[in-house]
Chains A and B, each alone.
Chain A
Amino acid sequence: MVIVWQAFQNPCMTRDAALLLPSTEPVTLIDPDGHPVPHVGHDLPDPQALVGAYAALISARRFNDQANALVRQGRLAVYPSSHGQEACQVTCVQVLDDGDWLFPTYRDSAAIVARGVDPVQALTLLRGDWHSGYDPHATRVAPQATPLATHLLHAVGVAHAARLRGEPTVVMALCGDGATSEGDFHEALNFAAVFRTPVIFFIQNNEYAISVPLARQTAAPSLAHKGIGYGVPGERVDGNDVAALLTVLGAAVARARAGEGPQLVEAHTYRVQAHTNADDPGRYRSADEVTPWLARDPILRLETHLRGRGLLDDQTSSGYAEQADQLAARMRAGLGEDTPSDYRDLFAHVYAEPTPQLREQQALVADELSREEAR
């Protein structure tokens, strides 16, 4: 095992506090009308990356729409939509290498699919099953976290283990604005900073934790400002601007991979739809608040920009739409089938070897079922 001693050097000694503070305004490189915005320190990503992100955006939006429809049809138990946040969903994956890890929350199903996970497997938990569906090792995607912020510490541990072995792994850990109030958010940033682990803490600030607005979560100037308390650089980025996200997240990943430690990135975006299908946003926000965000839609802005530069035409665009249709068809087909459920699975994975008590309990169910069948 290769041991990396630098992992244990305290980074605080060399940090200039001012360098840890985020910019006053979120970094924007393409404005809502599709025009490039010059920015000191950040250049537009190369055209290929932008076009790739556009294709992923189209699929992510289609994924959200189809998942919402599947809830209405009773094929999914619940769906926390990332409609309007698709730029965050696809870019946080696009900046990763194959060997890197993604730690998603329940609102990040579109990111999981962007990572290459089969959409039906990605929705396993949300269709009401008891497990994550996909293989976390094979996909390098942790099971979706339902409790808030607890997975951020797991991300730190995965990154620390990789670093101890001298592997170049970077971990992208996702959370929302509400999760920043949890104690584990604080502990994860602190541990990551002290051990200088290669983790990007990527907050999608969509203004709401179910019904509670950001002002009730924090009195900080921004969520990215929280980084300075841990010695972690914070950055703010326009969460509906694919170009800014690719640039800022890409720089954070490069920095982490170079051994310079964790980074906190706050994307300013908006939860356009309800928390889930069980929510009623009319009770806590007005349509007037939502409307301006529709004009800032991440797809619209990137499409205008790409067409303006001649990087996208109707033919390519319809090709991407067709890919997205195929994804949706796969979802309908896969989630339209009932998955077989086997009571033995309830007992099989509690321990590596079932305890004698679990064997007894499984035998009890087997006996009950055989008597039911005999009737």
Chain B
Amino acid sequence: MMPAEKLTMAAALNRAMRDALRADPAVVVFGEDVGPLGGVFRVTDGLTAEFGDQRCFDTPLAESGILGMAIGMAMNGMRPVVEMQFDAFAYPAFEQLVSHAAKMRNRTRGRLEVPLVIRVPYAGGIGGVEHHCDSSEAYYAHTPGLHVVAPSDPADAYGLLRKAIESADPVVFLEPKKLYFSKAEADLTAPVPPIGKAVIRRPGTDATLIAYGPAVPIALEAAEAAAQEGRSLQVVDLRSIVPFDDETVCAAVRSTGRAVVVAEAAGFASVSSEVVARVTERCFHSLHAPIRRVTGFDIPYPPPKLEHVHLPSVDRILDTVDELQWEYA
């Protein structure tokens, strides 16, 4: 493999599953349309052809069934990677996730592990019709026992998915749909930080933008635009919502004294509100202004024609940064 190549996030995820299937006979991939079709986003393209119908296979169309069977297989020595097709179509699997995948270790005092990955193509920005663009991370992050991660570029998508498949705990793997087909240079052989670590995607000294998944490229774009105007914005990519990296995030915010959290999901009772609460509790005396949020509105995901109004934009981020009480300090 060439050290650095240009590839899409979909291709990086595909490579991660391919390499995991090669590395460990316990890994199996299944879900709806993941077989010969290769998934509706082609993320599992070619896996059935290479590994056979017993390693990558289509199931009946029933998400609770898919996850419930995956839990049983994980109880019996396998490492299932299941696809939920679309964010809002994962809800029928909610009970299996919350009451069983998340709790099996605890209710057996660690004697039964369920190492499985629930891949969820998620969030908006693709002009999708209803029930195809939900940002559902808060439901998962609120459930003890689950890890919740969201990559923002191809290299991290590859590295995080490999780590998720190797994890001894269930991992909800949120794949930003709008980033599936954006290409970037990626060295898939380079190690990535573990699940639970945030990274600084762009250094900056004036304020910190905290984002994850689909909001990271927008935050980076906003930081670039701010630089043109002479303001230096730091960008933190959470990568892992659970476990949450208080250390990296708080160190970043302390270094600038100002922060804006950027997320696509509705802001009320959300991951973004948790980030604000955590950082405020820990960094209050380093803050020059209240931490602000740029999030989706508290509405059902809008139709394609109006999603641009809903999604965090560069302008909305920069307007919010402008309001961070620059007159003080």
Q: Name A residues whose Cβ lies closer than 8 Å to a Cβ of B.
A: 1, 3-5, 7-8, 130-132, 135-137, 142-143, 147, 150, 152-162, 164-165, 183-184, 187-188, 190-191, 194, 345, 348-352, 355-357
Contacts and interface: CB of A to CB of B under 8 A. Distances in A.
Contacts of A155: 72
A153 B144 contact: no
A190 B66 CA distance: 11
Nearest to B278: A357
A350 B105 contact: yes
Contact of A160 (B26, B69, B109, B196): B69
Nearest to B58: A194
13 contacts: A153-B65, A153-B72, A158-B75, A160-B72, A161-B75, A162-B76, A190-B60, A349-B106, A351-B147, A352-B169, A355-B244, A356-B244, A357-B246
A187 B53 contact: no
Nearest to B240: A355
A356 B75 contact: no
Interface in B100-114: 100, 104-113
Contacts of B80: 157
Interface string B43-87: 000000000111001011010110111111111111010000000
B65 A137 contact: no
Contacts, number: 146
Given A150-B99, A191-B65, A161 B112 contact: no
B106 A131 contact: yes
Interface of B: 25-26, 28, 52-54, 57, 59-60, 62, 64-65, 67-78, 80, 92, 95-96, 99-100, 104-113, 144-145, 147, 167-169, 196, 242-244, 246-247
B72 A187 contact: no
5 closest A-B pairs by CB:
A157-B72, A153-B68, A187-B65, A154-B72, A355-B243
Interface centre among A150, A183, A349, A351 (most CB of B within 10 A): A351
Given A187-B65, A194-B60, A153 B71 contact: yes
Nearest to A5: B54
Contact of B54 (A3, A137, A162, A187): A3
A206 B62 CA distance: 29
Contact of A150 (B96, B110, B145): B96
A156 B68 contact: yes
Contacts of A164: 28, 54, 78
A161 B105 contact: no
B65 A188 contact: yes
B89 to A, nearest CB: 14
B64 A184 contact: yes
Contacts of A194: 59-60
A153 B93 CA distance: 12
Nearest to B72: A157
A363 to B, nearest CB: 14
A58 to B, nearest CB: 30
Nearest to A144: B107
Contacts of A143: 104, 107-108, 112
B223 to A, nearest CB: 27
B108 A132 contact: yes
Contact of B76 (A130, A158, A350): A158
